[in-house]
């Protein structure tokens, strides 16, 4: 069975986004490599910016496995970016918290990201970027609905 036109366009979009994801990860890795970070480690630190959190909560928010985030967290602790603190709500699930070094590193990463975004974004029309953000938000919403309905249909089988 061949794709419908909508299915074909959606597939093209997905392939474009997957390729761009690789480009973005590579750019982020390069941007923060000398800070002792990777894009994945940077994302974990960013999740801890607002408040301490458990590995499981960070993993859920990032859409990653708990085990994968645990490995990242262990390295961040070993390198002094994050510390482990007792969790008053759950004795077996400690909280991760940024250290002063982690906060300084995250602040520097943010400064670099802002300069990079200004440099790359200056040749992009603001209206085009706003439309792209709206379209991607719609796609994200549809994917969430599809995931929920698929999950529900599996429960009823």
Please give the model's pTM, rounded to 2 decimal places.
0.83
Model pLDDT for residues 66-107, shown as the tens digit of each residue: 999 999 999 999 999 999 999 988 888 999 999 999 999 999
* Residue count of the chain: 157
Asked if residue 1 has pLDDT above 80, the reply is: no
**DSSP structure string for 17-54:** HHHHHHHHHHHHHHHHGGGT--HHHHHHHHHTSSS-B-
pLDDT band, residue 147 (cuts 50/70/90): confident
Report how far apart, in Å, the C-alpha atoms of 76 and of each of 27, 41, 66 are: 20, 7, 15
Indicate the DSSP class of residue 93: S
The residues facing 58 across adjacent strands are none
Asked if residue 22 has pLDDT above 60, the reply is: yes
Residue 83 near residue 99, CB atoms below 8 Å = yes
Model pLDDT for residues 25-43, shown as the tens digit of each residue: 999 999 999 999 999 999 9
The residues facing 96 across adjacent strands are 53, 84
pLDDT attached to residue 156:
53
pLDDT attached to residue 148:
85
């Amino acid at each position: 069975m061949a794709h419908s036109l909508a299915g074909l366009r959606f597939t093209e979009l997905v392939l474009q986004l997957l390729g761009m994801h690789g480009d973005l990860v590579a750019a982020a890795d390069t941007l923060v490599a000398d800070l002792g970070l990777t894009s994945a480690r940077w994302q974990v630190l960013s999740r801890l910016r607002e408040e301490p959190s458990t590995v499981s909560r960070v993993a859920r928010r990032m859409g990653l496995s708990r085990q994968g985030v645990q490995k990242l967290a262990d390295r961040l602790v070993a390198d002094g970016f994050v510390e482990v603190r007792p969790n008053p709500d759950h004795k077996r699930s400690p909280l991760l918290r940024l250290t002063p070094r982690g906060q300084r590193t995250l602040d520097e990463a943010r400064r670099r990201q802002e300069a990079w975004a200004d440099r790359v974004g200056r040749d992009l029309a603001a209206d085009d970027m706003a439309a792209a953000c709206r379209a991607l938000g719609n796609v994200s919403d549809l994917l969430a609905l599809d995931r929920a309905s698929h999950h529900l249909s599996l429960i009823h089988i």
